[in-house]
Amino acid sequence: MAGMVPRCFGATSVVLAWLAFASTSARADKEVQVLGVATGAIIATTIATPILPQSDQVAFEVGRLDAIKNVQPATAFAVEFRAGQILLWRLRPFIGAGFTTDHSFYGYGGIRIGAHWGDHVVVTPSFAVGGYSRGDGKDLGGPAIIGRFGIDLEYRFDSDVRVGVGYHHMSNGKVFGQEINPGTEVVGLTLSIPVR
């Protein structure tokens, strides 16, 4: 156990340094930089812990799109399928889709890594890639390929039903030469139900 602690701190330092450097060098939004460092810290808490089994989950979210920047806010609704099966290391795949009251639509797929803090608190960073259809909503640039990066904080009941809050940033990062990259975020309440 004593040898595990230095390895954990060493791995943590490497992860945090890489995330800070990568997000800064990519000229990422401040939100993405903060999410990157927070994700590194959360992952570091899982390195020395056993991998806990998880059931497949269907998650529902209702929240606010553009809640922080508040340029063109709208109510957002989303649904996700979160696989319990591990894809690689501690990473689990998920897919989702959402829409807003401004007739915007987005779909995405990616990976999640859950950190269990005690018996009932689960903190889960995630990263996904997807597409965005503007409708009458906020212009996120074209081609409308987005990265979705965020963190969910949930309380897990003994039945494995989870309730919580989520913060997810969506932007194109000008990865495909987009002219504009205003980015946006969804802040919402979540309900996740196990499917067996």
Quick one: average pLDDT of 74-87? Answer: 97
C-alpha to C-alpha distance for 184 and 164, rounded to whole angstroms: 20
C-alpha to C-alpha distance for 132 and 112, rounded to whole angstroms: 20
Both tokens of residue 110? 């990616």
Residue 157 has pLDDT above 70, yes or no: yes
174 Ramachandran zone, left/alpha/beta (phi>0; psi -120 to 50) = left
Nearest to 30 by CA among 189, 188, 171: 171
- Residue 134 CB partners (closer than 8 Å, separation 6+): 104, 140, 144
User: Which strand (E) or helix (H) includes residue 78?
Assistant: strand 74-82
Q: Which residue is it, tokens 């992952």?
A: 43
| Least confident range of 19-23, 149-153, 181-185 | 19-23
pLDDT at 27: 52
C-alpha to C-alpha distance for 33 and 58, rounded to whole angstroms: 29
pLDDT at 137: 95
DSSP tag of 131:
E
183: number of Cβ within 10 Å: 23
Quick one: average pLDDT of 139-143? Answer: 91
C-alpha to C-alpha distance for 25 and 62, rounded to whole angstroms: 33
pLDDT, tens digit (0-9, with 9 covering 90-100), for 99-124: 999 999 999 999 999 999 999 999 99
- Name the pTM for this structure: 0.83
Both tokens of residue 150? 């965020």
pLDDT at 178: 87
Quick one: average pLDDT of 147-163? Answer: 96
pLDDT, tens digit (0-9, with 9 covering 90-100), for 45-80: 888 889 888 999 999 999 999 999 899 999 999 999
